[in-house]
Amino acid sequence: QPELHYHYLSDPFDRQRMREGVRLVIGLMDRRAFKPLVLERTVPSDAQLATDQALDHWMYTTLGTAIHMSGSCKMGPDADLTAVVDQFGRVRGVDGLRVADTSIQPNVVRRPANATAIMLGERMAEWIT
């Protein structure tokens, strides 16, 4: 099994923005317009919202990935310094290594990733064999 480390919230700015987002949503849930839709808030608790440190702890223990990951190994032209692979999935600067999954998508598709993943895998297999 591969071991994946996403490094979520490792940047202080990311933690700050996530705290702001959580507190914004909590504030919206407390508004009169949302009262009929929200029976009660279960998480985060008032104690978890009380300080940045407590909220950070809640975010670290709660945040996770539940969707198909994509876009972490961007495909693009040689001129794009952020592109990791070329149009054939070849990793720049590493001989004999290709990436053939949804991580090469420069942008996340607005649909389930399985069809795109299958297409990428089949296309890359044609180039390799």
- Residues labelled as active-site residues: 68
CA 95 to chain centre: 28
85 forms beta bridges with 75, 91
Return phi, psi of residue 43, to 5°.
-145, 150
Q: Which two tokens stand for residue 61?
A: 């223990």
Kindly report the backbone phi and psi dihedral angles of residue 75, in degrees, each rounded to the nearest multiple of 5, phi listed first.
-90, 140
